[in-house]
Amino acid sequence: MQNGQLKPKKEKISRTKIAEQPAGLRVNNFNEVELGYSEDEAVRESSRCLMCKIPKCIEGCPVEIDIKSFIAYIKEKEFLKALEKIQEKNSLPGVCGRVCPQEDQCEKVCILGIKDEPVAIGKLERFAADYAKKKLESGSKAPGAAGSEPGSFQTSDKSSPDANSGSSSKKIKVAIVGSGPAGLTCAGELAKMGYDVTIFEALHSPGGVLVYGIPEFRLPKSIVQEEVEFIEKLGVEIRLNAIIGKTFTIDELFQDGYQSVFLGTGAGLPYFMDIPGENYNGVYSANEYLTRVNLMKSYLFPDWDTPVKKGSVVSVVGGGNVALDSARTAKRLGAEKVYIIYRRSEVEMPGRIEEIKHAKEEGIEMVFLTNPVEIIGENGWVKKIKCIKMELGEPDDSGRRRPIAVPGSEYEIDTDIVVIAIGQGPNPVLTQTAPDIILNKRGNIVTDQKTGKTSKKGVFAGGDIVTGAATVILAMGAGKIAAEAMDEYLKTGKW
Amino acid sequence: MNKINEVIRKSVPAKDIASLDIYNPTIAEKAKPGQFVVVRAFKNSERIPLTIADNDAAAGTINLTILKSGKSTHILCELQAGDTIHDVAGPLGKNTEIENFGTVAIIGGGVGIAPTLPIIKAMKKAGNHLITVFGARSKDGLIFEEKAEKYSDEFYICTDDGSKGYKGFVSDFFSDYLLKNPAKKINRVIAIGPALMMKAVSDVTKTALIKTIVSLNPIMVDGTGMCGSCRVEVAGKTKFACVDGPEFDGHEVDFKLLINRLNIYCEEEKISLEKYRESRKCRMDS
């Protein structure tokens, strides 16, 4: 290139940092770690977007949010319009902006990411959701929302003229089993299409893993509640304490007039390691540990009734987000030392990069290439965890290098709480009572990928119950695909 | 019009025991003997499992009979007719295997007597010769004697202090009974009560080679199989009592583990109850 032809260089703006609670402070509370963008920061970050003609980011999003358009609205300070744009595709923006692994999705394919850091799409999505929430709380008239009252954005979906009109007795009834991300999304979509939607939830609060699994410091429960209320405002009824497979069977739902059923029951069955000593007092599944703390609020014991064992040394087994959440929870409950014991090395950890970083800042100690072989007890309580060192061999089916035990390398770690976070499988309570739904050998429901159709007429499924434990946004994508297929089925009767 | 989970009737069949009929037509219609519900009294309350002691599908009610022990059961026992329970989920767990076995002995201890009632009725209806044994610390702790006697072919009472019936534990009584009736063929025993009592009965019947079903009472959270808080060992394998049980073969249960795990939260339970008592005292004072 010749010198004379240099164009005036556009000033490079680096990715806008997000404010966070300092590590030393946040380990003493369950408040959210990331504090979110201010209006100025959001506008600044959105101005980094190149407004690509063919935006790759949209393809990277499992529910194909019109990212370019919503970012353009933020840039113009039309924050509520930005949210409306997101809500066309995504009913849980406050959740997704926080917990999606954007580094593997929208932000992974952002063109800026080739030479620089990608646009902070997730944090902008979160900003839009939080901005509207704040406006709603303050009750002031929102700027930019032309002619709309505060809060009206929540039901402003213009593509759904039937959604809240017409006699409900004429509406076709559909049932959604499970109120996690897949079920909520499917329900929201069907309600917008004009169906009479009922969600059946086994627990006493809706949200699935969003309420019992992901901790408050990563996803405040008030956000989940708001987004569930948004779905309810679309006309969806949520029946709590209703366990399909026990309280009702799927066939009974059909007898009761439901024309189609979506199963979004998730991967709620905890796996244990099947090693000696796993039933000693002080050994938890991550599901139990996190349910006690998040859903039952045992971090507020005795103001809330459910207890949880605190312990001064906590060992968490596993390397995913559930392990990271458990370890960081243990720290906040007052543990002096928290270990994450993972059989592979750091690069293979399936947890989000951001959360691994947060965990390290909070003083969680990572013990890599190590696998527990036995839990040693004393008087019925956990005392030590015996581990063996591992080395990495050839890649396995998952593409990750297979860990192999090093003979004779066993050693013991003193610990008084062990949390097992090695994965979850499908809960069989529902499928046991529906023998006509075909399962694979892992117990997941077999579906047609394009529609979510199961082997039982009128029954669709999606999310972790089909894929095994995956991400919130993939479950939402599956809920959305199924909603469209259910609409098609209900209109045509074709199976 | 009754509200869902409203307490329709309350009685106090013995000291520190409350028997509540709760309006919940769905569960009332579905419940089978041996099943349980998970209950959360108020917004800040914990979830606790309670076995369904009776159900009336026509009236839309289930009966829960509760012994005051910790904070949650204190709260539930103090509810009055017209109050409502925040959450009742169920029916949960597998139901009791009911068929005509021939002769069945049903042994209930303390508040564990309550959930034997639906099993007693069903076993009688199935045509069994029914031997019922109820035990309590003293005669003041006995409940539902008349109801059970009506269905039983043989009916016995035991009290630890001898204030009524046989003096001693139900397990001792049953051991004596077997010795005194060597010709009697008992096809099945069902024992429900404190873990120690179920263990003692299982020990007696193991020597006598009588198949024995016990209803285990481990700590539960969700009650739907998603956490494993209620795990127990049966025949050397880990099982989740909430979905695989709560009834298991008493000869295969690791009772030592069950009892150990029941003590996990002793300290916290004390703190919780103490704080609750304090708050009640303050309210009464003011």
User: Which chain A residues are Cβ-neighbours of B257 within 8 angstroms?
Assistant: 279
pLDDT at A170 > cutoff 70: no
ipTM over 0.90: yes
Chain B contact present for A246, CB below 8 A: yes
* C-beta atoms of B224 and A202 within 8 A: yes
**Residue of chain B with shortest Cα separation from A432:** B243
* C-beta atoms of A281 and B89 within 8 A: no
pLDDT at A494 > cutoff 90: yes
Residues A347, A19, A68: CA angle, nearest 5 degrees? 75
In the structure encoding, which two tokens stand for residue A119, read together? Answer: 């646009």
Question: How remote is the C-alpha of B275 from its chain's centroid?
Answer: 27
* C-beta atoms of B272 and A292 within 8 A: no
pLDDT at B100 > cutoff 70: yes
- Least confident window among A79-93, A134-148, A427-441: A134-148
Residue pair A464/A201 in contact by the 8 Å Cβ criterion = no
Residue pair B85/B94 in contact by the 8 Å Cβ criterion = no
* C-beta atoms of A281 and B263 within 8 A: yes
pLDDT at A144 > cutoff 80: no
Pairing relation of β-strands A381-395 and A337-341? unpaired
Place A136 in a pLDDT band, splitting at 50, 70 and 90.
confident
Chain B contact present for A137, CB below 8 A: no
* C-beta atoms of B44 and A247 within 8 A: no
Chain B contact present for A322, CB below 8 A: no
* pLDDT for the residue A149: 38
* pLDDT for the residue A160: 42
**Residue of chain B with shortest Cα separation from A300:** B44
Q: Using CB atoms within 10 A of its CB, is residue B134 exposed (0-12), middle (13-18) or buried (19+)?
A: buried
pLDDT (tens digit per residue) in A350-380: 999 899 999 999 999 999 999 999 999 999 9
pLDDT (tens digit per residue) in B6-50: 999 999 999 999 999 999 999 999 999 999 999 999 999 999 999
**Residue of chain A with shortest Cα separation from B269:** A307
pTM to 2 decimal places: 0.92
State the smallest CA–CA distance between residue B89 and chain A in angstroms. Answer: 5
Q: In what order do the strands lie in the sheet with B54-56?
A: B7-14, B17-23, B61-67, B54-56
Place A153 in a pLDDT band, splitting at 50, 70 and 90.
very low
pLDDT (tens digit per residue) in B258-271: 999 999 999 999 99
State the smallest CA–CA distance between residue A297 and chain B in angstroms. Answer: 8
What percent of chain A shows pLDDT beyond 70?
Answer: 91
Peptide bond into A403 cis (omega under 30): no
Q: Using CB atoms within 10 A of its CB, is residue A133 exposed (0-12), middle (13-18) or buried (19+)?
A: middle
* C-beta atoms of B40 and A204 within 8 A: yes
pLDDT (tens digit per residue) in B40-64: 999 999 999 999 999 999 999 999 9
Peptide bond into B91 cis (omega under 30): yes
Instruction: Report the residue count for chain B.
Output: 286
Query: A221, A246, A274: which to substitute to probe chain B, counting the most B Cβ within 10 Å?
Result: A246
* pLDDT for the residue B284: 57
